[in-house]
Structure formats: C-alpha cells, structure tokens
Amino acid sequence: MENTDPTDISVTAIKGVGQQLAVKLSRLGIFSVQDLLLHLPFRYEDRTQRIPLGSVQPGQRALIVGKIEQTGIAYGRRRSLVCRISDGTGWVNLRLFYFTRAQQNNLRRGQWVSCYGEIRHGRGTFEMVHPEYRVSAGEPTIDAAQTLTPVYPATEGVSQSVLRRIINNALQSHVSLLTDLIPDQLLRAKHLPTLDKAIVDLHQPSAEADLDLLAAGDTAAQRRLSLEELLAHHLSFLQLRAQRQSLRAPALKGQGSGMSRLNATLGFALTKAQQRVIAEVLDDLTRATPMLRLVQGDVGSGKTVVAAAAIMRAAENGLQSAVLAPTELLAEQHFRTFHNWFGPLNVDTVCLSSRMTVRQRRLTLSQLVAGQALVAVGTHALFQDDVEFDRLALVVVDEQHRFGVDQRLAMRDKGRTEGVIPHQLIMTATPIPRTLAMTFYTDLDVSNIDELPPGRIPVDTVVVPEERRDEVIQRIKHACGFGRQVYWVCPLIDESEALSAQDVSSTEKLLRESLPEAAIGLVHGRMKSAEKDKVMAAFRDKKLDILVATTVIEVGVDVPNASLMIIENAERLGLSQLHQLRGRVGRGHQQSACVLLYKSPLSEHARIRLAALRDTSDGFEIARQDLQLRGPGEVLGTRQTGIQRMRVSDLIRDRNLLPSVHELGKTMLQQYPQRVPALIKRWVRLGDQYGHV
C-alpha cells in the first residue's frame, strides 16, 4: 500500500504560508503539512449565535452586538478606555487598558460594535475586557459561525486568525491525502471515525457539538487520534526493543560463588524483593543480548545492592563496570560503599571526579585502560574522551532521569567493541507509574523493589504554616539536645524580590541567632564542589548539628543520625521532589519527622500535593498521584529522556485506551507490518539510537 501521507510536504505548500511564516510556525513544531493538520485546538469558542445583552452571564464567553452609547477614559489604579454598548435588552461595558488614539476615535458614540470575549462583573454592570471586536456605522448583520471556533496553541507573530486561515486551507487541499493506517474493520469494531473525518471534526466541530465532551477529550474524533498516537508510541518502543535484541553483549555466566562472597561482606540480609530483582538482573546478564533493565524502588529500598550484584557478576568474568551518578557527592558515596564491599573480594574500585590531581587522574585512567580496575564510579567525568576501558561489560546509571539520552549513549559507546555493547542497569528512586511504564518503557524490562528493609520506621510528616516557625525552631532545639541532626531545605539561595520564598542565607542567619549553641552548615548550588562536599562530610561525620541547604541534597549522602527534615515553602516543590527530600531522614533506628512549612494562602493544587505527602510514604502511590497532578511530560522529564510530549493523547485521561493499544499493536505487527513504519513516522520524532540507551 502506497503511503501518501503529507509528512514530507513542506508547510509552505499551503496557500498563505511563505518562508517568513514558516519560520514562525517552526517554533510550534510545525514543519510539514501533516504537522499543520495535527496542530489541534486546545479549546473552542461558541460564536454560532448572538447573545442578547440582557441575557449574558458572568464567566460566559459570548458573541454580542450593541450600539455605543458613550465612550470615555476612566481613571483609577490603571487608566482605561470604557465604551457602554446597548441593544435594547440591556447594556455591557467594553474596557480597554491598552488603547491607541485611533481606537479611541473609532469607538465613538453612535457606532455599532460586534464583540467576542468573556463577560465579567464590572462597576455597576457586566463588562468585557479587551474583547475581539469589529466596528461598523450601522447595525451589522452578524454572520454567525457555522461551526465552533477553534483556539490553537500560538506563538509570537502567528495570530489565531492566521492559524485558522492556513489550517482551513490545509484541510481543503491536503486532508484527503492522509492515509488511514489502522484498518477500517478495526476502526469499525471500536466505533471510531476515519482519520480525515476525525481531523476535520476537531478543527471544525459542528455547532451542535458538546463543548463539555470536547473539553474532556472524550469525543469519538479525539479518542480516534489518541488511540493512533498511543499506538504509534507503543509500536515504536516495541520496534526499538526488537532492534536491541538483535545486538550482542557479553554473556556473563556465573556459578553463584560471586554472590555468596558478596553476601558475606554486606553485613545484612537481603529482602525478598531484593533477592527477586537480583535474580532477574543476573538472568539477563547470562544472555548474549544487551540487558536494558530499569530497577525502581523507593528511597532506601536497597537498589545499590542490586547494582553491586550485577557488578560482581561482571567482575567474576574479569570484565569492567561503570557506575554513573548525577552528583559528585553521590558518586563518592557509591565509591565508598563499593570499595567497602568489593575491597575484601579483591575487586578494585576507582572514582573519577573533577577534584582529582593530574597525577591521580592519570593513574586512574591507566588502571581502567589496562583492566586493573574493574569498577569505575563517577559523574559526567566518565564521558570524557580520555576515559577508556579495557572491556566494559556493564553500565549502571543511577537516577536515570538526571541524564540526557546523548549522555547515556556516550557511556554505552565506550564499551562498544566489535559490535558488542555493554549491558545497562538503570536505577531510579522516583518510580515510574505503571501507566507510563506500559507506554514509554515498553523497550525496557522493569523491576520493582517494592519492599523496604526490616526495621525502617516510617517518617512522620506534618504540614505547618510558616507562622509557626518559632515552634519548629524549638523542635529543632529539642532534637539537637538529644544528639540528633537536622536538615533545613529552602528553595532559594539568596533573598529575591521577584519570588516570595525563603532563602538559605536568611534561614542560616535566623537559626544562628535562635540556636547559638548549635553547629550549623550551609550548602547550595553556587558553592564550589570541594567546599560543598567538605560541609556535607562534616554533617555526615556529626561535626554539624544543622545543615541548611537548597534542594541539592535531594540526592545526597546517607546520614542515619539525621532525624528531622524541615522543607521551607513546600508548596513550591513537586510531589516526587518532596518525597525524595523526605527520604534523607528515617535512615537510622530512631523515629524521624518531616515538617512541610508552607506560605498561605495555599492553592488547591498545592493543598492536594501536601496532603498526599502527609498521608502516604509509599513512593509508588506518590508517583501515581504525581502523574495525575503534573502529567507524563513533567514526571518523565521529556527533555531528559528524549520522549516528546503527546500531541493529542493524555495518559491519565486515556488510560482506558491502553488495553486496546496493546491489542492493536499485536494485530498490526502480525497482520499489517508494512504499515507500522508509516504510523510511527506520523507521530513519533525519535531516532532509532534512543532505543539502545
């Protein structure tokens, strides 16, 4: 079947689109005719009927017509041009805060004006502020729209009228070229329209269309496009998975002695969840196809031990592993942990950091290229060109969402030799909700560590207004009196006129004045790494009672003696970030607490977020709620993962479509494989290489 989809036809083929407009459209991700046709409205306006002025209601968006009875400039906090219009049934004021002398002259008494905008409460009457309007000398004959009026995502220099005009031109000239790639019988079975009809219906909904259904994304046309978009992404990741299975990796066999020796050095028993996930990882490593496994588990669930088991298997085979951490603090913590575990087993571990001397770095690099060091831990320093391995068999990426796709590719390629690439183990303490994993991580195998080590006491979480700051300080004094340590996290480094939020500098000063007997340290992102790490080390070694910090400690060192976490302006932070910060405490055997200080008044969104954190400590449940609150793009970090935002579908709204997506995916691959590439090309802008990271 020939694919005539206008994917590769430049948008300049549309009447009214020249080179200058094409450049502006590119800012909206519109390059081709197909991009333009799939640039869908985010809401609709009903301009299909004129509303009498005596019938308008506040909050209503309406098309109104009236004769200007009086015009004048109103002076108050802001100067505005006010026109009173009447149609015999009532009157409404039009108010312009930004106006020219020409507008003032044009909007004069006796003229007629037709307007569209939102009705609001005004001074003594209803008003429209900055409506769309047209002036005429006599009562205009309103040619009401025949369809609902679309409102599109726009950009500077591209108005709604321009978008409506060129999209209408594209519908007339090119929509018939769109090929239905989902077979007709499958569409009919699900009572869904054809592609061209769905697109026309969404750009030009009939006057009788249900605005509530459109707003909810629940019309047949929207479900049709959402299904196809989700299907394209699902097939894309299945295709990437199949491509990965065609690659080769070192098959890491083992007799179990390595794991037994590692267990002997740990000093603690593994949970059943850890044992299960380790078994899954080790089974992957025995295969000659590259492992790409995502291990997700809550803060403190023991993901590092899983990584250690995989590293030990590579070491048993005389091969190397690289551990990639997002911060030097975390890299050094991993280095100390692995050095302690692997040292007695004669597995040499090195750490690459920016603070190494030239001589130290040269020695470390020589150990890696000679294969003497079997484990390398580091941050972005591992990507540098002069870092070479003898035989790199395993790459472990901690907190995967903090690394871009290109960075993970660079790390993988350091282990590529004669067509063989290393296995990859990806770890995250921000669990990916199942809905996302089913769609965006189809190419990964996912393991969940859904059990915490025994003895972990849940952290008490309380939500407190900032007016009770003095009580919180007394609580800190009490904790320090018992030899406990405290984190105080602020969103800002310095005081800001633009943002109403507490900063670390002011907080440190306040705490020094309120608690003169306490040893207080300060950490923030503008400090040099050596200085920052020195303070963190002092806190870890119990030389400091209180650590005032920005969110740089979200991923940080393990301090079991820290039992109290204060998070300032908690309403400004995301749910998963708050949960990560809370995970800095509760690592010892004493009861720990997290205090969420907030600034009133709380928005409804912030209230829900803080209540969710207070009510649960389950990272998987928090991830699910975070997805509902922020959406998939924010949770996954679209720029970091390389995954684009969806054009039509919404994974929360459309999760009921996922079973159909998976069912259709099997059918397409088995019966219509020739249509799959075109379907993916229509919706997915990802390179094949991203399937291998």
Read off the pLDDT of residues 533-565 as tens digits, 9 standing for 90 and up: 788 889 988 999 999 988 777 555 678 899 999
pLDDT score recorded for residue 408: 56
Q: Is residue 641 very low, low, confident or very high in pLDDT (cuts 50, 70, 90)?
A: very low
DSSP labels for 364-400? HHHHHHTT---EEEESGGGGSTT---SSEEEEEEESG
| 182-233 tens-digit pLDDT | 999 989 988 999 999 999 999 999 988 888 899 888 999 999 999 999 999 8
Give the whole-number percent of the chain exceeding pLDDT 90. Answer: 49
Give the C-alpha separation, 170 to 12, whole Å.
11
- pLDDT category of residue 55 using cuts at 50, 70 and 90: very high
Provide the whole-model pTM: 0.69
Among 248, 646, 250, 286, which Cα is nearest to 440's?
Answer: 646
CB 271 within 8 A of CB 453: yes
Mean pLDDT value of segment 417-423: 83
Q: 593-598 and 423-428: which strand pairing?
A: unpaired
pLDDT in tens, 584-602: 888 877 899 999 999 888 8
- Output b/e per residue, 506-537; b: 16+ Cβ within 10 A: ebbeebeeebeebebbbbbeebeeeebbebbe
Cβ 555 vs Cβ 399: under 8 Å: yes
Contact 665, 658 (CB under 8 A): no
Q: Is the pLDDT of residue 92 over 70?
A: yes
**Residue 322: strand pairing partners:** 376, 395
- pLDDT for the residue 341: 95
What is the arithmetic mean of pLDDT over 608-629? 80
Across residues 106-113, what is the average pLDDT? 93
pLDDT for 435: 55
Tell whether the model's pLDDT for residue 129 goes beyond 60: yes
- The answer on pLDDT for 438 being more than 50 is yes
Q: How far apart are CA 210 and CA 192, in angstroms?
A: 17
Cα–Cα distance measured from residue 337 to residue 330, given in angstroms and rounded to the nearest whole number? 10
The pLDDT confidence band at residue 689, using thresholds 50, 70 and 90, is very low
The pLDDT confidence band at residue 351, using thresholds 50, 70 and 90, is very high
Assess whether pLDDT exceeds 60 at residue 651: yes
What is the pLDDT confidence band of residue 496, given thresholds at 50, 70 and 90?
very low
Q: For residues 57 and 60, what is the distance between their CA atoms, to the nearest angstrom?
A: 6
Question: How many C-beta atoms lie closer than 10 Å to residue 349's C-beta?
Answer: 23
Position 84 pLDDT exceeds 60:
yes
Alpha carbon 480 to its chain centroid, in Å, reads 37
57-73 residue pLDDT tens: 998 989 999 999 999 99
pLDDT tens for 664-687 read 999 999 999 999 999 998 988 654
Q: Where are the beta strands (DSSP E) in 61-192?
A: 61-74, 80-86, 91-96, 112-121, 126-129, 132-136, 149-151
Report the pLDDT value the prediction gives residue 410, as an integer from 0 to 100: 63
Peptide bond into 601 cis (omega under 30): yes
Higher pLDDT, 256 or 288: 288
Residue 130 burial (10 A CB sphere; 0-12, 13-18, 19+)? middle
572-582 b/e (C-beta count within 10 Å ≥ 16 → b): bbebbbbbbbb
Mean pLDDT, the chain, whole residue set = 85
Domains and CATH numbers, the chain: 6-44+150-216 (no CATH), 49-144 (2.40.50.140), 217-455+653-693 (3.40.50.300), 460-616 (3.40.50.300)
**Is pLDDT above 70 for 642?**
no
